[in-house]
Amino acid sequence: MGCILKGGGGLYSRVAVGAVLLAAGSGSRIGHRPKSLLELGGVPLIRRQLIALSGAGMDEVVVVLGHYADRIEEVVKEFPVTLVRNPNPDAGQNSSLRLGLQALSPKLDAVLVALADQPLINSQDINDLIGAYKKRPSGMQVVQPTVDGLPGNPVMFSTEVREQILAGDANVGCRQWQSTHPDQVHHWACSNKRYRTDVDTPEDIAALAARTGHQLKWPTDWVVTT
- CB contact at 8 A, 136 and 186: yes
pLDDT digits (tens, 9 = 90+) for 82-102: 999 999 999 999 999 999 999
Q: What angle do CA 18, 20, 23 make, to 5 degrees?
A: 160
Which range, 8-12, 68-72, 165-169, is most confident? Answer: 68-72
In order of 134, 135, 162, 226, the CA distances from 36 in angstroms are: 29, 31, 25, 23
More confident residue, 65 or 173: 65
Q: What is d(CA 153, CA 113) in angstroms, rounded to the nearest whole number?
A: 8
Q: Where are the beta strands (DSSP E) in the chain?
A: 17-23, 39-40, 43-44, 60-65, 82-85, 110-115, 142-147, 150-151, 155-158, 185-190, 216-217
pTM above 0.85, yes or no: yes
